């Protein structure tokens, strides 16, 4: 009797001592030890490529002078940790003010950006007359950016120069985030919207009572995208802000890396630790808030990041 390919594979797996469940397809059977080992090596390599730079930054920020000099400027594991760099940074009020400015820009900017994106995405996801022209205009901005000089002239004409609103208003809408959220809204069953409309609910009530509770995942993901964008932005501050009391923390980091000692004097640090420790300490301070927020949004991130990829 001629054996099938499936039977020959089954005999080979049984000869190797591998379990086989005939009620499941072959592709759902447990992977081989070699495959698991290769996968573990790849995942381990990716993990090290992420963890080692963070460990290097944190270790360098708390290393003492002698170890920094002996290591050539960067330390992987400090033998005598010291927090002199952090004490020097927070010895004056400059860094506290910069953190406050960044927190205000991130909080207000993320709220306004989510409000604009959600309302526009919901409006264009419904069959309305002006939905398609607005959608075409938004998609047009994905292909053609306004440019640096026109944006600067617009901010100047609006009287926003040297104001924190120049760092918020130009970034309150991102076409990519709009497309992601609109795609999610379009996948919400139409029957729910029609049932609420028959009961007399307005569009605002439908959005608040039905659409938003069903869209927590995509709102968390888009909100995280906006928050990271506002928190990490420094180029607009470099263009529009001249008052050092309005500097966000990312611009402080950039200026310290570029200017070094002169920037240390500007932020009120008299007896500064080594430049490497100061730079890495500012990097840790700028990175820490995002690392603290992300774990609370991770459960929504896995679901919301693939929004629109699966239909039905």
So where are the chain's domains?
5-84, 88-304
User: What pLDDT is attached to residue 4?
Assistant: 61
**Helix-strand-coil percent breakdown of the chain, rounded to 5?**
70, 0, 30
* Mean pLDDT across the chain: 78
The band of 2, judged by pLDDT with boundaries at 50, 70 and 90, is: very low
User: What pLDDT is attached to residue 44?
Assistant: 92
User: What pLDDT is attached to residue 269?
Assistant: 57
The band of 289, judged by pLDDT with boundaries at 50, 70 and 90, is: confident
CATH topology of domain 88-304: MetI-like fold (1.10.3720)
Question: Percent of the chain, pLDDT > 70?
Answer: 78
User: What mean pLDDT is predicted for residues 297-312?
Assistant: 54
User: What pLDDT is attached to residue 144?
Assistant: 78
**∠ at Cα 114 (112, 115), nearest 5°?**
65
* Residue 247 φ then ψ, to 5°: -70, 130
User: What pLDDT is attached to residue 105?
Assistant: 92
CA separation for the pair 309, 267 (Å, rounded): 47
The candidate with the shortest Cα–Cα distance to 249, out of 148, 271, 83, 263, is 263
| Chain segment 103-119, per-residue pLDDT in tens | 999 999 999 999 999 98
User: What mean pLDDT is predicted for residues 15-42?
Assistant: 68
User: What pLDDT is attached to residue 299?
Assistant: 65
Q: Which residues contact 278 (CB under 8 A, 6 or more apart)?
A: 85, 88, 89, 256, 264, 269, 272
Following DSSP, what letter does each residue of 272-289 receive, concatenated? ---HHHHHHHHHHHHHHH
Q: Is 200 left (phi over 0), alpha (psi -120 to 50) or beta?
A: left
């Amino acid at each position: 009797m001629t054996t099938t390919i499936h039977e020959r594979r089954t005999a080979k797996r049984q000869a190797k001592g591998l379990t086989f469940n005939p009620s499941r397809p072959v592709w759902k059977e447990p992977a081989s030890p070699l495959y698991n080992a290769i996968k573990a090596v790849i995942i381990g390599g990716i993990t090290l490529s992420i963890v080692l730079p963070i460990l290097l930054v944190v270790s360098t920020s708390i290393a003492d002078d002698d170890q920094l000099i002996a290591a050539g400027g960067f330390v992987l594991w400090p033998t005598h940790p010291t927090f002199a760099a952090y004490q020097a940074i927070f010895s004056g009020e400059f860094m506290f003010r910069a953190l406050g400015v960044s927190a205000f820009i991130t909080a207000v900017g993320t709220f306004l950006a989510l409000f604009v994106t959600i309302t526009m995405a919901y409006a264009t996801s419904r069959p309305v007359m002006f939905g398609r022209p607005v959608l075409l205009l938004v998609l047009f901005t994905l292909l053609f950016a306004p440019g640096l000089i026109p944006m600067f002239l617009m901010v100047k004409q609006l009287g926003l120069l040297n104001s924190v609103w120049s760092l918020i208003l130009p970034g309150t809408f991102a076409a990519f985030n709009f497309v992601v959220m609109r795609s999610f809204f379009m996948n919400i069953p139409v029957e729910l919207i029609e049932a609420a409309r028959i009961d007399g609910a307005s569009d605002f009530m439908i959005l608040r009572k039905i659409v938003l509770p069903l869209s927590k995942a995509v709102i968390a993901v888009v909100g995280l995208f906006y928050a990271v964008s506002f928190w990490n932005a420094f180029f607009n501050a470099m263009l529009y802000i001249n008052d050092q009391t309005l500097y966000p923390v990312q611009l402080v980091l950039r200026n310290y890396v570029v200017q070094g000692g002169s920037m240390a004097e500007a932020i009120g640090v008299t007896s500064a630790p080594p430049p490497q420790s100061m730079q890495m300490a500012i990097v840790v301070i700028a990175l820490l808030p995002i690392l603290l927020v992300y774990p609370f949004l991770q459960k929504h991130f896995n679901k919301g990041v693939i929004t629109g990829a699966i239909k039905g």
